[in-house]
């Protein structure tokens, strides 16, 4: 029973830390499937988190915070889109640039506007997301096994948490069951064929980039409006890169994206849990090894030792009509 209790707590924190990863990895899924590499997920998430924290603090409204997050994130996506689609610049370089610009400006603007050492003011109850409790959750907790699963795992999360997991089948449906999704995937594999069919490659890729911006906006808003009450500088702390790793680990498929994010989230939760406690057989595992594990796993996967991750064929290549 004690082991079961620990497991429930562990899985609950897994869900909590996986949410921004799921949003960001799905965001990456849309652009990369359309043939635009995006290592600026980190920057967009950070920019969105700042916008959410700042707007929610000023307007005292969680919804205005969410809208601001999405607007800023889409704006940054469009900068990336303009550089990599219209100007045919190097997509990696553009992503790196966005990460730096956001990392610097969130601190500078935050300090100039709020003077709290790069933080935004702590948010009051109405200005942040509240936990959603399912009916009868407290009463059900006493029921053995099923009770804690219902009360702690299914119930008791933020609205955005449910949205994140709902976005997985929705993204799948958009990408695999709609005309837009089919064209989006085609433009990432063979943009020439899409162009021949009379469909604008540029406009399709811009729409994919906008989808990415919206989802990164949710990821950022979750960080500063739900997980914590306000923005702290550098609060994404590499989550954008972990999401990128999860996306590759998932071989660019929606369901696998969710599983990969849950796996990486679980490793994160486990690392916090295991800090300082020795394991049977292996002894004490250095916490740094646990932290590095998602990256190590991704490297091993990319090297083709666990299946092979094949990226969209036209990924990273700007489309030139005349060619």
Partner 1 sequence: MSTPYAKLPGWVEYGLVPLINLAVAFIVAGLVVLLVGENPFEAAYHLINGAFGRGEYIGFTLYYATTFIFTGLAVAVAFHCGLFNIGGEGQAYVGGIGVALACLWLDQTMPWYVVFPIAIVGSAFFGALWAFLPGWLQAKRGSHIVITTIMFNFIASSLMVYLLTRVLKPLGSMAPQTRTFAEGGQLPKLDWLLSVFGLNIGTAPFNISFLLALVAAFAVWVLIWRTKLGYEMRTMGHSASAARYAGIRESRITVIAMMISGGLAGMMALNPIMGEQFRMQLDFVQGAGFVGIAVALMGRSHPGGIIPAAILFGVLYQGGAEIAFEMPSISRDMIVIIQGLVILFAGALENMFRPAITRVFAMRGQRAAAVVQTKGA
Nearer to partner 1, 12 or 111 (CB): 111
Q: How far is the CB of 286 from partner 1 (least distance, A)?
A: 5
Q: Residue 199 or residue 302: which is nearer to partner 1 going by CB? A: 302
CB of 109 to partner 1, least distance (A): 7
Q: Which of 18, 31, 94, 120 binds partner 1 (CB under 8 A)?
A: 94
By CB under 8 A, residue 111 contacts partner 1? yes
Report the alpha-carbon distance of residue 105 to residue 43 in Å, rounded.
Answer: 11
CB 47 within 8 A of CB 102: yes
Q: Contacts with partner 1 in 226-255 (CB under 8 A)? A: 238, 241, 244-245, 248
CA distance 44 to 193: 31
Q: What are phi and psi of 144, to 5 degrees?
A: -65, 150
Applying CB under 8 A, among 97, 159, 163, 174 the residue interacting with partner 1 is: 97
Among 4, 6, 7, 104, binds partner 1 (CB under 8 A): 104
Task: Please spell the DSSP secondary structure of 222-265, one letter per residue.
Answer: IIIIIISSS--TTTTTTHHHHHHHHHHHTTT-HHHHHHHHHHHH
Closest to 271 (Cα-Cα) out of 3, 5, 1, 13: 13
Cβ distance 248 to 301 under 8 Å?
yes
Q: Please report whether residue 278 would count as binding partner 1 according to CB under 8 A.
A: no
- The residue range among 148-156, 173-181, 252-260, 302-310 that interacts with partner 1, by the rule CB under 8 A, is 302-310
| Rounded alpha-carbon distances, angstroms, from residue 236 to 155, 183, 228 | 25, 32, 12
Q: Which of residues 115-174 bind partner 1 (CB under 8 A)?
A: none
- DSSP, collapsed to helix, strand or coil, labels residue 283 as strand
Q: Is 71 in the site for partner 1 (CB under 8 A)?
A: no
Task: Using the rule CB under 8 A, give the single segment among 16-24, 146-154, 250-258, 295-303 that binds partner 1.
Answer: 295-303
As a whole number of angstroms, the distance between CA 29 and CA 149 comes to 30
Closer of 39 and 127 to partner 1 (Cβ): 39
Q: Is residue 187 packed enough to be buried (19+ CB in 10 Å), middle (13-18) or exposed (0-12)?
A: buried
State in angstroms the smallest separation of the CB of 305 from partner 1.
8
> Does position 102 bind partner 1 by CB under 8 A?
yes
Q: Is 221 in the site for partner 1 (CB under 8 A)?
A: no
Task: Give the footprint of partner 1 on this chain (CB under 8 A).
Answer: 37, 39, 79, 82-84, 87-94, 96-105, 107-109, 111-112, 238, 241, 244-245, 248, 286, 288-289, 291-292, 295-296, 298-299, 302-304, 311, 320, 322-323
């Amino acid at each position: 029973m004690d082991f079961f209790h620990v497991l429930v707590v562990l899985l609950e924190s897994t869900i909590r830390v996986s949410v921004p990863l799921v949003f960001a990895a799905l965001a990456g899924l849309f652009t990369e499937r359309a043939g635009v590499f995006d290592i600026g997920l980190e920057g967009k998430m950070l920019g969105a988190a700042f916008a959410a924290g700042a707007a929610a603090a000023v307007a005292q409204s969680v919804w205005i915070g969410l809208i601001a997050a999405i607007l800023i994130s889409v704006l940054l996506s469009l900068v990336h889109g303009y550089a990599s689609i219209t100007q045919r610049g190097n997509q990696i370089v553009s992503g790196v640039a966005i990460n730096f610009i956001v990392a610097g400006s969130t601190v500078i603007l935050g300090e100039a506007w709020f003077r709290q050492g790069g933080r935004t003011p702590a948010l009051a109850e109405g200005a942040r997301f509240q936990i959603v409790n399912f009916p009868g959750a407290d009463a059900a907790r006493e029921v053995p096994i099923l009770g804690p699963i219902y009360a702690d795992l299914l119930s008791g999360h933020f609205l955005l948490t449910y949205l994140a997991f709902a976005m997985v089948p929705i993204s799948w449906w958009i990408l695999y069951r709609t005309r837009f999704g089919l064209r989006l995937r085609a433009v990432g594999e063979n943009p020439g064929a899409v162009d021949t069919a009379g469909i604008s490659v540029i406009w399709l890729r811009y729409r994919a980039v906008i989808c990415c911006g919206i989802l990164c906006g949710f990821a950022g808003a979750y960080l500063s409006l739900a997980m914590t009450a306000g923005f702290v500088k550098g609060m994404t702390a590499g989550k954008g890169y972990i999401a990128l790793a999860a996306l590759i680990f998932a071989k660019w498929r929606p369901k696998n994206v969710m599983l990969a994010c849950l796996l990486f989230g679980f490793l994160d939760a486990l690392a916090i849990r295991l800090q300082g406690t020795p394991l049977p057989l292996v002894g004490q595992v250095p916490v740094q090894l646990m932290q590095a594990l998602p990256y190590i796993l991704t490297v091993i996967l990319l090297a083709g030792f666990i299946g092979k991750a094949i990226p969209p064929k036209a990924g990273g290549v700007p489309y030139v009509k005349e060619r």
